[in-house]
Amino acid sequence: MTFDELILLFRKLADVLLVWFMIYFVLKSLRKNLKMVLLFKGILFLVVLKVISDLLNLVTVGFLLNYVIMWGPLALIIIFQPEIRNVLEQLGRSQLLGRHKVLTVDEREKLVYEVIQSVEYLKRNRVGALIVFERDQSLSEYIEKSKKIYADISSELLISIFFPNNPLHDGGVIIQGDKITSAGAVFPTSDSVRISKRLGTRHRAALGISEATDSIALVVSEETGRISIAISGELHYNLSIDEMKLLILEELRPKKVVAVDEEENEDEKVAE
């Protein structure tokens, strides 16, 4: 095989991989967006109807579908502009090289310990709080509009930030790795109909940021002291301290470590 043939093969392979990457990203975005799922089903229905009309030679239906197919893409861009913008924003936030810092086991344990210490105090004293952990998708957009801190994680600092008389009390704290990056952050609120109307702005903001990014959003209710965690657009409501600890530890584990652990567990089962 010549050098030119190798270059041509590489180009074709790169072309196929890029197409599959785009399809994967679109399907991943569809899974988290009800409106986009309905749109996708509608497009599939029109495609099936077009095929049937061509097979059965349905002239009137085919004529109407031709106009729909011709002007449909423009109409979809106008109607679903917010959803398309959200997908593009998610792509822009994605960090291809992963999280800015992969925490060791000790660092994760210390991070979760400090968060638990603060949450126990906040829960006991009915102090509202919103803590967001950055993962693979960057939260720089929200960090830029908040108060920069860049401090080591500590329960005392978290408690003081959310103390009722603190000016940053109403905003959210953003944690990158094992550092408190900023406080007073404002996040988009979710308009999901699945969330209870009894839940306030903090819970909707937690759900909103978990829908827009892959972050973990921890909420302490000011009215009830209950603990909730939002992940991937799903709210885990009224968790115990132990449930919160296990969930955060599991979600903060690096993906590669999870894969290695699963392989080791399978090897142990085979050995037994």
CA angle (110 as vertex; 233, 248 as ends), nearest 5: 20
What per-residue confidence (pLDDT) applies to 92? 56
* pLDDT tens per residue across span 184-214: 999 999 887 777 778 889 999 999 999 888 8
Most confidently modeled range among 82-86, 128-132, 167-171: 128-132
What per-residue confidence (pLDDT) applies to 90? 57
* pLDDT tens per residue across span 54-101: 888 888 888 888 878 787 777 777 776 766 666 666 555 554 444 456
Higher pLDDT, 95 or 41: 41
Average pLDDT of the chain to the nearest whole number: 81
pLDDT at 134 over 90: yes
- Taking alpha carbons only, the member of 95, 100, 86, 262 closest to residue 179 is 100
Cα(23)–Cα(17) distance, integer angstroms: 10
Q: Which amino acid is at 222?
A: E
Q: What domains can be seen in the chain, in order of their start residue?
A: 3-93 (no CATH), 105-256 (3.40.1700.10)
State the alpha helices, DSSP H only, in the chain.
Answer: 3-31, 34-56, 59-79, 81-93, 105-124, 140-144, 155-162, 201-212, 241-252, 255-271
Strand partners, 219: 130, 228
Scored b (16 or more CB within 10 A) or e, 58-67 reads eeeeeeebee
Given CA atoms 68, 73, 78, 81 in this order, what sign does their dihedral have? positive
134-153 average pLDDT score: 89
pLDDT at 32 over 60: no
pLDDT at 256 over 60: no
Contact 136, 94 (CB under 8 A): yes
Cα(238)–Cα(229) distance, integer angstroms: 9
Cβ neighbours around 46 below 10 Å, total: 14
pTM of the model: 0.63
What per-residue confidence (pLDDT) applies to 262? 47
Among 119-123, 151-155, 194-198, 205-209, the minimum mean pLDDT is found in 194-198
Confidence of residue 133 (pLDDT cuts 50, 70, 90): very high
What per-residue confidence (pLDDT) applies to 258? 42
Higher pLDDT, 104 or 266: 104
* pLDDT tens per residue across span 216-244: 999 999 999 999 999 988 999 999 999 99
Token representation of residue 147 = 């108060």
What per-residue confidence (pLDDT) applies to 217? 96
What per-residue confidence (pLDDT) applies to 28? 65
